[in-house]
Amino acid sequence: MNNKMKKPIKISKNIFLKKFKRTSDNFNQKLIQYIEDPNDENIHDIRVSVRRLETAYKILPKSTREQSKIKNNIKQDRKFFKMNAKIRDFDIICANMTSKYPDRTLSLVQSLKNSRIEHIENANRLALKISRLPSLEIPKSALKESKLEKKYLKVLDCIVLNIQKNTIIALRDEEKIDELHMLRKDFKKLRYSLEFSSDKKTTFDVLKNLKNIQDMLGEIHDSDIIINYLKSIEQNSRYSDIISAETMERNKKYNTFVTFFRKYPKADNFGLKF
């Protein structure tokens, strides 16, 4: 890790446990809201909750992570997250087509909405199953501060290394969709991991910048979802002009991201010390 980084990151067992409980409680609340109404907002919220819960899980020392109850809960949550990823894609495409090209994409949008219904039914069954599982709780006695700190710093170090690796590739070529996607996911992981830090003063500005980068990469990813879907359907030549327009917009988003990112010479670690 870069020796020039000056801001050490700390984690406290007591603060972590409080945040873990808050994260778990938030997930349970968002899950209930999802079951009651799986609209696009609730799908977004539950996916964020799963990501935060999974982040907390990865910070736990191995001896705690391997406990069967915790492991099973996270396994079901991950499955639920993946099921909703496809539904979110449907929502993104439908919203884009409806707002920009309503007259030309009526049948396309209706087909996606029909597929969404089927996917929601399957996801809701799993949501109900998860809602019956006992809430995740970590006893204070089960966690050693030294092991927690060691694992936390290891997680942060791994995320930053992945960001550095994918940044080199993604900033040079806008066609590197997989690397951009991984970069977006890693910035999310870094942001959610830093939220568990016990040092708000050190992480406040960093978290704000991470959110900005995450949002820009999210916009690019949404464009990639739309473009790839339109290219995949039969007779996509009917939508060639839409594909061209969306590709042009996607390129503008990419250039905005590159310009923003290059303003920060230490944007791959934000001057933090792990």
182 and 213 co-located in one domain: yes
168 lies in some domain: yes
Distances (CA, A) of 34 to 44, 76, 164, 253: 10, 16, 36, 31
Determine the structural domain holding residue 130 and report its residue range: 11-143
Tokens in use for 219? 């916009």
For residue 235, the model assigns a pLDDT of 72
114 and 152 co-located in one domain: no
For residue 52, the model assigns a pLDDT of 96
187 and 205 co-located in one domain: yes
Give the number of other Cβ atoms within 10 Å of residue 44's Cβ: 14
Amino acid at 171: L
173 and 271 co-located in one domain: yes
271 and 148 co-located in one domain: yes
Tokens in use for 155? 């997680």
pLDDT mean over 200-217 = 87
CA distance 150 to 135: 26
123 and 160 co-located in one domain: no
For the question of whether the overall pTM of this predicted structure is more than 0.75, the answer is yes
172 lies in some domain: yes
121 and 177 co-located in one domain: no
4 lies in some domain: no
25 and 136 co-located in one domain: yes
175 lies in some domain: yes
2 lies in some domain: no
211 and 102 co-located in one domain: no
79 and 203 co-located in one domain: no
94 and 219 co-located in one domain: no
For residue 3, the model assigns a pLDDT of 39
Tokens in use for 274? 């792990």
Asked which of 143, 170, 189 is the last residue of a domain, the reply is 143
Tokens in use for 225? 């979802």
Asked which of 143, 160, 186 is the last residue of a domain, the reply is 143
CA distance 23 to 53: 6
For residue 7, the model assigns a pLDDT of 59
Asked which of 114, 143, 172 is the last residue of a domain, the reply is 143
pLDDT tens-digit readout, 34-65: 999 999 999 999 999 999 999 999 999 998 89
93 lies in some domain: yes
215 lies in some domain: yes
Number of domains in the chain: 2
pLDDT tens-digit readout, 117-167: 999 999 999 999 999 998 888 888 889 999 999 999 999 999 999 998 999
232 and 135 co-located in one domain: no
CA distance 16 to 195: 9
Nearest of 215, 208, 30 to residue 127 by alpha carbon: 30
Contact (CB, 8 A) for 84 and 46:
yes
